[in-house]
Structure formats: structure tokens, C-alpha cells
Amino acid sequence: MKLLEERILKDGHVLGENILKVDSFLTHQVDANLMREIGKAFATYFKTTGITKVVTIEASGIAPAIYTAEALEVPMVFAKKSKNITMTEGILTAEVYSFTKQVTSTISIAGKFLNRQDKVLIIDDFLANGKAAKGLIEIIEQSGASVEAIGIVIEKSFQEGRKLLEEDKRKVVSLTRIQKFENRKIVFMEADA
């Protein structure tokens, strides 16, 4: 997605070896116009696939996921990273290890928001090591729903997430793919949509 690549080049900052800071439009401050375009791009790609729900994980997945859900005219559900006291019945959970934070956390979704008839599109802001996506797949499949594909806003293709998901026969559709960081410059490769 050209608009997104341009924005990453303009406002993204490479930190250290493998982190891209995009807090001015995606992970902290959010550019709603850009998110709407991201939502439309995913919806154009998936419009004929019969998606019934978009699922993401809090926090930074929510913005691209809600605009995708809006464009596909289906509900969006986000996995929570901590249980709250109103989540009392039928909770589906999975363990997710974060390499970035070096902690394992339990993510959860109330079972009533997913069912066997659902065809789910997972949306997330970053694909790095693929652990968040794996955890979401586990939760979704516990409900009997099927995962159609994983839609990613920014894929860091030099990390193992995509490989891991594809080994598991999952379809990954990334709007941007970063091949590498070279002297703090971002090098893109051809994206999926």
C-alpha cells in the first residue's frame, strides 16, 4: 500500500536493530484518515471471502481492525490482555509470549462473540515473531470458528512471524513488508495488497 509506505518513510523511526517506531500515526497517536484507507484496502482484498468477523488484540491492533470491520460491514472483536470483572462466562484464552517484552501473558475473548459459523479475518498492526497471531488463532479455533487469513499493517519480513504462520498453512496478507533496516533506513519489499 503506497500511501502507507510513504507515511512510514516520512514519520517512522528505526530504533536499534529491529524496531520501527510509528507512534505518531499508528501505535499511540492514530491517524484516522490513514486507518480508514487501511480498512478499505483490507476490505477490497477480502470482500468476496465471506468474512463475518474481524478479530484483533488490544491495543494497537484496534484502530486498523475497526476500520476494516466498518468497511466489511461486520463486527470487530478484540482480545483482552487482562481479564476484567465483567468477563464472567465462557472465556476463551491463550498464552502469548512477547519477545519484545520478554513476558508471557494470557489473552482472552468471551466465547459468546465467536461461533462455529464465523469466518474470521485477524488484523494486527505488526507482524514480528508471530506469537500474537498464533495466540489469536488458538482462541478463535477453540470457539469452532475458522480463520480465513491474517491481515497485517506492517510486516517485518526479516523476523520469523510470516514463516511460522505459513508453515502452519495460514494465509498472510500484509499491506507493507519491510525486508530490512539498512543503516537505519527502511527497505521495503513487494507487499501483498
3-class SS letters over 1-65: CHHHHHHHHHHCEEECCCEEECCCCCCCCCCHHHHHHHHHHHHHHHCCCCCCEEEEECCCCHHHH
- Residues binding ligand G4P: number (CB under 6 A): 23
Residue 19 as a binder of ligand G4P (CB under 6 A): the answer is yes
Residues 6+ apart with CB under 8 A from 130: 160, 161, 162, 164, 165
Residue 129 as a binder of ligand G4P (CB under 6 A): the answer is yes
Question: Cβ of residue 47: shortest distance to ligand G4P, in angstroms?
Answer: 26
User: Would you say the C-alpha torsion 37, 43, 174, 62 has a positive or negative sign?
Assistant: positive
Query: According to CB under 6 A, which one of 42, 67, 126, 181 is a site residue for ligand G4P?
Result: 126
Residue 64 as a binder of ligand G4P (CB under 6 A): the answer is no
> Interface with ligand G4P by CB under 6 A: which range of 2-10, 30-38, 56-64, 87-95?
56-64
Residue 125 as a binder of ligand G4P (CB under 6 A): the answer is yes
Residue 131 as a binder of ligand G4P (CB under 6 A): the answer is yes
Residue 151 as a binder of ligand G4P (CB under 6 A): the answer is no
Residue 127 as a binder of ligand G4P (CB under 6 A): the answer is yes
- In angstroms, the CA 108 to CA 31 distance is 27
- In angstroms, the CA 106 to CA 80 distance is 8
For ligand G4P, the binding residues (CB under 6 A) are: 19-22, 27, 57-60, 98-101, 125-132, 156, 161
